[in-house]
Amino acid sequence: MAFDNIYSHFHPDEHRFVDKAAEWVERAVYQHTVKKTDFLDPRQAFILQTLVNRETDVQFRLDGGYEQAERKRAIVAPGYRHVDDEDMGIAVVSVRSDDEKIKALNHGDYLGSVLGLGIKRDKIGDIHVHPNGAHLLVASEIAEYIHLNLQQVHRVHVLTETLPLAQLQVAAEQLESMSLSVASLRLDGIAGDVYRLSRAKIVIPIKAGRCKVNWKQEEDPSTPLKQGDVVSLQGFGRFKVLEVEGMTKKGRIRVHVGKYV
């Protein structure tokens, strides 16, 4: 099987993952192996699905532990293998505390504390933050390690427990609503307003490859955004374009965005 010219469809920084994904597919076809991946972000899942779709004799499944999951594990298997009932290897780690300070913790606090244990980002799925703690979706092979070693999150002492997937409590998506008036739908203009950075300052991290639009690296500050786009800037968080509301009397564009909190 040859993935001719497949690189031309993806950013150069994605080529390494393209190689890995192509190898998983080839092994499923020619060596009859079954590959269960770590957690993939939506862009990686798209790349893998693109490669799978170029081959007829492969079974493929994505699962993040619940229906609306953003980060998902995948199974790539030979075409004769039934994968619907395969164990995806996802566990829930419950983190809680009686300390009132836990109510101020956010997604980044929990993620940072788990990564601080020496765990790779690929082993962690979605994180659901609740008033008195959080539910972390993780690869089942590292759930017990987190349970034994995660004792505090951002200086808040916590207790942990490993739960079955059926007890996952999904948190509602929390967005800080912002209404902007912009000259155009350019990435640098909207992102600059969201992150309160000047045009001169916002283009630096974009051109340096620190920005992603819909989980795909974007280095062109002039790229136009549209409704539904998710933008992330390393070190600044991410936001979603909720609605392009139309023109003002002065010829500017009203945009409604939601910044993830």
pLDDT digits (tens, 9 = 90+) for 137-182: 999 999 999 999 999 999 999 999 999 999 999 998 888 999 999 9
Pairing of strands 159-163, 90-96: antiparallel
Number of domains in the chain: 3
Residues 49 and 72 in one domain: yes
Q: Is residue 42 part of a domain?
A: yes
pTM: 0.85
Q: For residue 1, what pLDDT is reported? A: 47
Q: Is residue 83 part of a domain?
A: no
Which domain range does residue 43 map to?
6-78
Q: Is residue 97 part of a domain?
A: yes
Residues 69 and 111 in one domain: no
Residues 209 and 234 in one domain: yes
Mean pLDDT, residues 109-115: 96
- Mean per-residue pLDDT of the chain: 94
Q: For residue 254, what pLDDT is reported? A: 95
Residues 73 and 128 in one domain: no
> Residue 240's pLDDT band (boundaries 50, 70, 90)?
very high
- Could you tell me the maximum CA-CA distance found in the chain, to the nearest angstrom? 64
Residues 12 and 74 in one domain: yes
Residues 163 and 180 in one domain: no
Percent of the chain at pLDDT > 70 equals: 98
User: For residue 224, what are its two tokens?
Assistant: 């136009």
Mean pLDDT, residues 124-130: 96
- CATH code at 181? 3.10.290.10
Alpha-carbon span 28 to 126, nearest angstrom: 27
Residues 220 and 182 in one domain: yes
> Residue 24's pLDDT band (boundaries 50, 70, 90)?
very high
Which of 167, 184, 211 is at the close of a domain? 167
Classify residue 194 as left (phi > 0), alpha (psi -120 to 50) or beta.
alpha
- CATH code at 150? 3.30.70.330
Q: Is residue 254 part of a domain?
A: yes
- CATH code at 55? 3.30.1370.160
